[in-house]
Chain A
Amino acid sequence: MTRRLRLIQVVGLLVAAAALALFAAGCGGGGDESAGGENGGNAGKTYPLLRTVWESPDYMDPQLYYTVAAYQLANYVWTGLVGYKHVAGSEGATLVPYLAESMPTISADGKNYKFTLRENLKYSDGRSVKASDFRYTIERAFKMDSPGVGFFSDIKGVSGPNGYAETKKGRIAGIITNDAARTIEIQLDQPRGDFLYILGLEFAHIVPTGTPASDQSTKPIPATGPYILKSYTPNRTIELARNPNYDGQIPTMPSGNPDRVVATIISDPVASYQRIVSGQADYNFNTVPNDRLPEAQSKYKDQLRIYTNANTYYYALNNKLPPFNNIDARRAVNYAIDRNAIISGVYGGLGRPTQNFLPPGYPQYKKIDEYTFDLARAKQLVQTSGTAGATVDVYGPQSGQSRAATEYLAGQLEKIGYKPKLRLLGEQVYFQSIGNQATKAQAMFTDWYQDYPHPLDWFDVLLNGDRITQTHNNNPGNVDVASVNKEIDALKKIAEITPEVNDRWAKVDRDLMVTYSTTVPYANLSGTDFFGSQMDMSCYTFNVVLYWDWGLSCKK
């Protein structure tokens, strides 16, 4: 194999670029954001028990879980080669080596990544962490049909008719490991600017070779992080305890302050709020319901933190079906939406209006201010588009704020001259349904929370027309602008984030939202962290990727 690759040490470059670029300002917790140094200034303030109220996670298996409810707890249990710096503010989006002893060396063409594992790494059951475990982990993800396998499609030997994704037999050719030398080499078919972030995802968190390729949520997999999953009883509790074999093996990660974490699963936000108020829990994962927010703000102001993480709530309009295959019709909807009114009425004020697809805080973000709420203009556009009177199937989830947001859309469509038909589906099947072309949804509610802080996670995953599929379509609006698709593909290959690259991403955003008016983004929502009175709020640390960093919490 030709090795005429000019290898460069990119640790410094990546860290500096990320720190410079990602989440410069504004994205992150409001209120106190105790920075805290490498392990946070709160490291070492240990205490026996953190009692939390939590939402039900989807799984507690690193190759399967894909919800914040699982991720926020499990990021202290299983770890990958790289991970995020446990600090508040924009620096929290910086990748640092976790199980790898340093950031990788990347070939000049961006297609080859080389890692070396730290020495003497151990799982919580005492077994040694081997380089080959990484390959096994990725293969396990494919064998389990993990929701994250799409992220690994550019690894050599994965895609194509004989690729591992199809056959699930043999080995992934693009992952070469050497247990004795502790080295892992990953070869890609094509360069991918966000590949290091992908390696930071939970789907690449390393598990021991031989771990069954089936859901192990209730049979905890040995951990590499500072905590172990002691038990998980679905819909009841999750319990974490200290990893007896951790011994500070990942110095870039805090060892965590609570000795034990008990998460009681309560999905009803009112009941979980009440748990905190009555002193039965120290932290509420669920967002404080709108109805209790005024009370929480006035009576428990010191215990409440409001944060805005990277998310965008938007209405997808099917660009390939009438009436929204007409650009004026799509523009009309953009003018018909009063973004401030939705945030107040539907979300209780917990959000900020947006017309961008990319959330604020990204260095690629350039605020779009094009669509001032103007119902008369919207009606006029509908008339000129010749689509007035068209029937529109409006899809949304069956309950909660998402339903209210969908009802609002249907109401506004009626006001501007369409005949909306509201179709509300159960949450479990909603995204699957709108992601199926057979549904023929014309307008719909949807949202997105970042997997990792890179524009590719927004534009490539959600709005690249080349990635439209018949089922499980992440682009339910069938947005397909050839020139933009081409630009996304070009930007995908660029690993280095420069001001010029940022400008190009900003143009992609503007082209899709204004020039072609493909989609109707309306809000970047905020969430709440609500704490019991026993918690020391001076330790509060909100990480833009990891959310509230409970490992750095402390009690009074």
Chain B
Amino acid sequence: MEGVGRRRPPFRFGSRRLGRKCRVATESTTDFTLDSAAALAAEEHGEIEGKSPWLLAWRRLRRNYVALGFLALFVLIVTACLLAGPYADHIAKTRPNEGHLGETFTRDGKQVQIVSKGGFVGDEFTAGGIPVGPQLWHAGGKYVFGADNQGRDVAVRLLYGGLNSLKVGMGSAVICTAFALLLALLAGYYGGWVDWVISRVFDLIWAFPVLLLAIALGTALAINGFHHFGINIEGGSLWIPTLVISFVLIPYIARPLRGQILSLREKEFVEAAVAQGASPLRVMFGELLPNVASSVLVFFTLIVANNILTEAGLSFLGAGVQPPNPSWGTLIADGQDRIVTAPWLAIIPGIAIVLTVLSLNVFGDGLRDALDPRAKVRMEH
């Protein structure tokens, strides 16, 4: 037993039935950047005996200023997006899909064309259609990040787009993680033909490149929606990209979880629970689930970032959020046609995606290190 006694999975939350707290021996006094061996050594010195695993994780996490800094950035982004409505109504005074072609706004007492005029005067041609650039605060909160080729306020669309991207990203992460966990528990606990069937389904989904499968499903459902099995989802609904992304990513979470659960299934504490007459549900949700909770949590944070990227890709290709509704992906797609004359149209939502994904990834890594210094959880495609 490698000299550390009954090595169990690090955390066994809620294992009340067996009446034993998980014996995590020590809390790491080292910085989170130390390797897992050092962390384990610290734990074994008994410095953290008696502390709950969540408290230990929080202690580790709160020393990780980089992770917390990026968490703050993510919270800031989410808060800004949540304030999209008030910003649009009271500051920009426009709606996200409201075009203003042919209109003007006031800047420094002068009327400025929102989208430049062009056309023919006689046979003389003048190129037009160039939207006004970022005004920052020079126009009283209007067109802070400029306008697009329909004369829509980019800042308003950026915030609403962010809201949509986050809704899809987080919504799909919740659904994907929940289903992945459920299937992994079933496959891991029952094994045998149940495991075989579930694993083959995973193989089937896995056989398709994620983005291609998502594009195929997204394109097929984007127009007419989904109207089967008593479920009615309209074509332009955000539920379409949310469910599509959830579906295609399930194996990427479920497979590693299944592996962990298969391993846990053979442990003595599970055998003990079974021997004491625990029902399968009790074992799955009372014994196995708490032991993979940390992995699930880490997966969740990482997959939110991944899903935001996937949504952006799908929307960029027209298979995600449907126009005129904004998302960061559609904003980039709209901007690419004006990359020379109005580069901000593509760059600003691009920056928003980078910051959001970066913040979630860095925080996710920090969370993983805090929850389980020995873990090697990675989102890999």
Which residues on A are within 8 Å of B, measured CB to CB? 30-31, 289-295, 297, 306, 338, 340-352, 373, 398-400, 403-404, 407-408, 410-412, 414-415, 421-426, 526
Q: For the A-B complex with A400-B337, A408-B101 known, give 17 more contacts whose Cβ atoms are closer than 8 Å.
A: A290-B129, A291-B338, A294-B130, A295-B340, A338-B102, A340-B102, A341-B101, A342-B101, A344-B116, A349-B118, A350-B118, A403-B323, A404-B149, A408-B99, A411-B97, A412-B99, A415-B98
Chain B residues within 8 Å of A408, by CB: 99, 101, 150
Q: Do A407 and B323 touch across chains, with their CB atoms under 8 A apart?
A: yes
Whether the pair A349, B102 counts as a contact (CB closer than 8 A) is no
Cα–Cα distance between A349 and B131 once the two chains are bound (Å): 13
Q: What is the distance, in angstroms, from A394's C-beta to the closest C-beta of chain B? A: 10
Q: How far is the CA of A58 from the CA of B155 in the complex (A)?
A: 41
**B117 in the interface, Cβ–Cβ < 8 Å?**
yes
Q: List 19 A-B contacts (CB under 8 A).
A: A290-B341, A291-B338, A291-B339, A292-B340, A342-B101, A344-B129, A346-B101, A349-B117, A349-B129, A350-B125, A373-B102, A400-B337, A404-B150, A407-B150, A407-B324, A408-B101, A410-B324, A424-B318, A424-B323
State whether A290 and B322 are in contact (beta carbons under 8 Å apart), knowing that A344-B101, A345-B102, A345-B150 are contacts in the complex: no
Q: Nearest CB to that of A528 among chain B residues?
A: B125
B318 touches A398 (CB 8 A): yes
Q: Is the CB of B115 within 8 A of A344?
A: yes
> Does A345 lie within 8 Å of B129, measured CB to CB?
yes
A425 and B318 alpha carbons, distance in the complex (Å) = 10
Does B120 interact with chain A (Cβ within 8 Å)? yes
Chain B residues within 8 Å of A, Cβ to Cβ: 97-99, 101-102, 115-120, 123, 125-131, 149-151, 219, 223, 235-236, 318, 322-324, 337-341
A422 to B98, CA, bound (A): 14
Most buried by B among A348, A373, A407, A424: A348
Report if A348-B318 is in contact (Cβ < 8 Å); known contacts: A30-B123, A422-B236. Answer: no
Cα–Cα, bound, A495→B251 (Å): 69
CB distance from A436 to the nearest CB of B (A): 13
Interchain nearest-CB distance for A88 vs B (Å): 14
Contacts of B119 in A (CB 8 A): 340, 343-344, 349, 351-352
Nearest-CB residue, chain B, relative to A352: B120
How far, in Å, is B324 (CB) from chain A's closest CB? 5
Once the chains are docked, how many angstroms separate the CA of A414 from the CA of B98? 9
For the complex formed, measure the closest distance between the CB of B377 and the CB atoms of chain A, giving whole angstroms. Answer: 38
Complex contacts, A421 vs chain B, CB 8 Å: 236
- With both chains docked as a complex, state the minimum distance between the C-beta of B3 and any C-beta of chain A, in angstroms: 64
Q: Which of A349, A399, A410 touches B127 (beta carbons < 8 Å)? A: A349
**Chain A residues in 8 Å Cβ range of B101:** 338, 341-342, 344-346, 408
Which residues of the partner chain B approach A294 to less than 8 Å between Cβ atoms?
127, 130, 341
Which residues of chain B are near A425, meaning CB under 8 Å?
Answer: 223
Q: How far is the CB of B51 from chain A (nearest CB, A)?
A: 55
B318 touches A290 (CB 8 A): no
Of B99, B115, B130, B131, chain A has the most CB atoms within 10 Å of the CB of: B99
B324 touches A411 (CB 8 A): yes
Minimum CB–CB distance for A506 against chain B, Å = 23
**In the complex, are the beta carbons of B129 and A346 less than 8 A apart?**
yes
Considering the complex, give the chain A residue whose CB is closest to the CB of B116.
Answer: A344
- Report the minimal beta-carbon distance from B333 to chain A, rounded to whole angstroms: 8
Give Cα A426 to B322, complex, Å: 13
* A422 x B150 contact (CB < 8 A): no
B118 A411 Cβ-Cβ under 8 A = no
**Which of B117, B125, B340, B341 meets A30, CB within 8 Å?**
B125
| Contact between chains at A345 and B125 (CB < 8 Å) | no
Q: Please tell me if the beta carbons of B323 and A422 are within 8 angstroms of each other in the complex.
A: yes
Check if B318 sits within 8 Å of A344, measured CB to CB. no
B237 CB to closest chain A CB (Å) equals 11
Q: Inside 8 A of A526's CB, which chain B residues have their CB?
A: 120, 125
**In whole Å, how far is B157's beta carbon from the nearest beta carbon of chain A?**
12
Are the C-beta atoms of B337 and A291 separated by less than 8 Å? Answer: yes
**A344, B117: Cβ atoms closer than 8 Å:** yes
**Contact indicator A306/B324 (Cβ below 8 Å):** no
Question: Given A340-B102, A348-B118, A404-B149, A422 and B322 touching (CB < 8 A)?
Answer: yes
Q: Considering only CB atoms, which chain B residue lies closest to A410 in the complex?
A: B324
> Which B residues are CB-close (under 8 A) to A289?
337
Q: Which residues of B contact A338 (CB under 8 A)?
A: 101-102
Q: Which residue of A lies closest to B341 (CB)?
A: A291
Closest 6 CB pairs of A and B: A349-B118, A341-B102, A349-B128, A341-B101, A348-B129, A344-B128
The interface residues of chain A lying within 8 Å CB-to-CB of B339 are 291
* CA of A526 to CA of B124, assembled, Å: 13
Which residues of B are found within 8 Å of A426, using beta-carbon distances? 219
Instruction: Provide the residues of chain A in CB contact with B130, threshold 8 Å.
Output: 294
A291-B341, A421-B236 are contacts. A346–B323 as well, Cβ < 8 Å?
A: no
CB distance from B161 to the nearest CB of A (A): 15
Complex alpha-carbon distance, A414 and B150, angstroms: 14
Report chain A residues within 8 Å CB of B322: 422, 424
Q: What residues of chain B lie closer than 8 Å to A412, measured between beta carbons? A: 99
C-alpha gap A304/B66 in the complex (Å): 54
Cβ contact within 8 Å between A348 and B223 = no
Closest residue of B by beta carbon distance from A412? B99
Q: B299 to chain A: closest CB distance in Å?
A: 34
Report whether B341 and A344 are in contact in the complex, using a CB–CB cutoff of 8 Å: no
Question: Which residue of A345, A347, A423 contacts B235 across the interface (Cβ within 8 Å)?
Answer: A423
Are the C-beta atoms of A297 and B129 separated by less than 8 Å? no
Give the docked Cα–Cα distance between A293 and B342 (Å): 13
Do A345 and B151 touch across chains, with their CB atoms under 8 A apart?
yes
Q: In the complex, how many angstroms separate the beta carbon of B97 from the nearest chain A beta carbon? A: 7
In the complex, chain A residues whose CB is within 8 Å of the CB of B323: 403, 407, 422, 424
A423–B102 CB distance below 8 A: no
Most buried by A among B130, B219, B235: B130
Measured CB to CB, the nearest residue on chain A to B95 is: A414
B219 CB, nearest partner CB in chain A, Å: 8
Residues of B within 8 A of A407 (CB): 99, 150, 323-324
Q: Measured between C-beta atoms, what is the minimum distance from A354 to chain B in Å?
A: 12
Contacts of B97 in A (CB 8 A): 411, 414
Distance, CA A410 to CA B324, complexed state (A): 9
Please give, as numbers and ranges, the residues of chain A lying within 8 Å of B324 by CB-CB distance.
407, 410-411, 422
B318 cross-chain contacts in A, Cβ below 8 A: 398-399, 424
Could you tell me the distance in whole angstroms from the C-beta of B319 to the nearest C-beta in chain A?
10
What is the distance, in angstroms, from A505's C-beta to the closest C-beta of chain B? Answer: 25
Q: Would you call B340 and A349 a contact (CB within 8 A)?
A: no
Which residues of chain A are within 8 angstroms of B118 by Cβ–Cβ distance?
Answer: 343-344, 348-350
User: Nearest Cβ distance between residue A428 and chain B, in whole angstroms?
Assistant: 12
Question: Closest approach, in angstroms, between the C-beta of A392 and any C-beta of chain B?
Answer: 14
Q: Are B150 and A290 in contact (CB under 8 A)?
A: no
User: Using Cβ atoms and an 8 Å threshold, which residues of chain B touch A344?
Assistant: 101-102, 115-119, 128-129
Tell me whether B150 and A423 are in contact (CB under 8 A): no
With A345-B115, A399-B318, A411-B98 as known contacts, state yes or no: A290 contacts B223, CB within 8 Å. Answer: no
Query: In the docked arrangement, what's the CA distance between A341 and B113, Å?
Result: 11
B152 and chain A: residue at smallest CB distance: A411
Complexed CA–CA distance, A47 and B98 (Å) = 54
Question: A350 to B341, alpha carbons, bound, how many Å?
Answer: 16
Of chain B, the residue at the smallest CB distance from A342 is B101
Residues of A contacting B128 with CB < 8 Å?
A: 343-345, 348-349
CB distance from B182 to the nearest CB of A (A): 35
Q: Which residues of B contact A423 (CB under 8 A)?
A: 223, 235-236
Query: Which A residues are in CB contact (< 8 Å) with B235?
Result: 423
A291 CA to B341 CA, complexed, in Å: 6
User: Given the complex of chains A and B, what is the CA–CA distance between A398 and B235 in angstroms?
Assistant: 14
